[in-house]
Homo-oligomer: A and B are copies of this chain.
């Protein structure tokens, strides 16, 4: 017996209805080199219709992949709406991938059209002639001549739009139809394509607006510094359309704290969103200038864990960070570090530093890394986070890496975490990095944090290497601060760690290097470290005394 409720499809066309009917006055502002581009949701609505007509004229058919290689700007937003509402699939190319990876993602997705910011033509040019599926390339250009390139004939976005009506008859779209694609950054092997549906995007946006999620509102002014080509842009473009939030796009000027400060201040931002590095830059600009952003009530932070010192610094300048966790495969919102009402005030700061509690719509569990058995939420046991829900991936484009889905249908995130009795997730490692020593687990992330707290240390990465007795033992690669280069000793660091971590967690070796190798998305490339590492000199180090709990 079914309910007698409408079979209203959950598609992004609903957002378009709201953009057009309810928020015509609201603004969208984009930073340009020396000026600001400024228009309204009414303008957005009209231009989205024009882009829809352009896509139809270019021969884009339902299910066709349409790629973008763009920064955060209003034209990218137009494509975020026009492509899926026309039945196409928006594939946001990650401009930070290496050329071979970029070529792979275009081919793997089978992109038929590419829309590219003029400033990013040189990146696309690196794979000129290596995109056999691509029929047309359209340049988003603020004016002026194009740089030299080998990409053949290019179409001009504004010229195409100018020829079209500002009304579009959108096709009927089913809610499970593909809406967008985003590739993982591929720290191991090729990037993998995640394919979002209209339904998943709709539901994710419904979650983002919740007070106990990101809490976006019509009354907010949001400056999204998270790149629109990363992890589904955190769902912000569609959540904004649903809520009517004013948006401030930084275009390519994301790395400069001063620029972000000016933008946020001039346009009255109330919410900011980005990764920790961005907020380090902003914090620097605030502290240097003495300026403040009193209108900002929330700084959404994801992508990697928030360093304690960063959140302390942001608290000092009156900016409240909201830590969220997720990944490309989770659309991305999975958990948000709310302070539950029963948390005592003195523990609130620590709660905010955790990855947080699952949002409505997402179920999580932790599973033993070896056996897959579900582990208790006691804040001690740690295992792989697995999750399920209507905006969690059930697989990848072209069936890449089917091992990421468990037999009972949960997504294996690869993140290793504890969950405490209050439901707070705390990530301690990645499954491929965590070390198993004598049957017990050692968190490389915790160990790195402890080493990096040493005042003479700039960066540290810990990997596990083979050991004849303990199976694996930790080895730390340490980059000293420039002023202490050659003046830090392994003994000094080992002494510093004593009492801060369990004795048997102490690294067998501490190896000083000039730089930690990094991936295209600037994460530590531990795979590269492991591939080139010297074996442990087992005679040279004392055997650890190991026993008891892994987290004694």
Contacts and interface: CB of A to CB of B under 8 A. Distances in A.
Nearest to A423: B22
> Taking each of A7, A179, A207, A388, which has the highest tally of chain B beta carbons within 10 Å of its own beta carbon?
A7
B390 A8 contact: yes
Given A177-B1, A218-B341, A360-B18, A388 B211 contact: no
A358 B23 CA distance: 12
A157 interface: no
B390 A10 contact: yes
B25 A388 contact: no
Interface size class for chain A? 35 or more
A459 B433 CA distance: 75
A5 B209 contact: no
A4 B209 contact: no
Given A14-B361, A211-B216, A395 B206 contact: no
Interface stretch (A160-168, A197-205, A450-458, A539-547): A197-205
A216 B22 CA distance: 23
A217 interface: yes
A372 interface: no
A360 B242 contact: yes
A10 B4 CA distance: 16
A2 interface: yes
Interface in A5-62: 5-8, 10, 14, 17-18, 21-22, 25-26, 62
Contacts of A62: 1
A21 B377 contact: yes
Contact of A338 (B3, B18, B218, B422): B218
Contact of A423 (B21, B177, B394): B21
Interface in A373-412: 377, 388-397, 409, 411
Q: At the interface, is chain A mostly helix, strand, loop or mixed?
A: loop
Contact of A363 (B14, B178, B195, B342): B14
Nearest to A177: B2
A186 interface: no
A215 B243 CA distance: 13
A89 interface: yes
A340 B24 CA distance: 12
A5 B360 contact: no
A86 to B, nearest CB: 13
B357 A22 contact: yes
A219 B176 CA distance: 34
A341 B243 CA distance: 12
Given A341-B218, A361-B206, A178 B1 contact: yes
Nearest to A392: B6
Contact of A3 (B176, B210, B360): B176
A175 to B, nearest CB: 9
Given A14-B361, A219-B341, A242-B360, 9 more contacts: A1-B63, A2-B195, A3-B196, A3-B197, A3-B200, A26-B342, A206-B207, A218-B338, A243-B360
A194 interface: yes
Contacts of A17: 363
Nearest to A342: B25
27 contacts: A1-B178, A2-B178, A3-B199, A4-B195, A4-B197, A4-B393, A4-B395, A4-B396, A5-B199, A5-B331, A5-B394, A6-B389, A6-B392, A6-B394, A6-B409, A6-B411, A7-B394, A8-B389, A14-B360, A21-B423, A22-B423, A206-B210, A211-B211, A211-B216, A218-B340, A218-B341, A242-B360
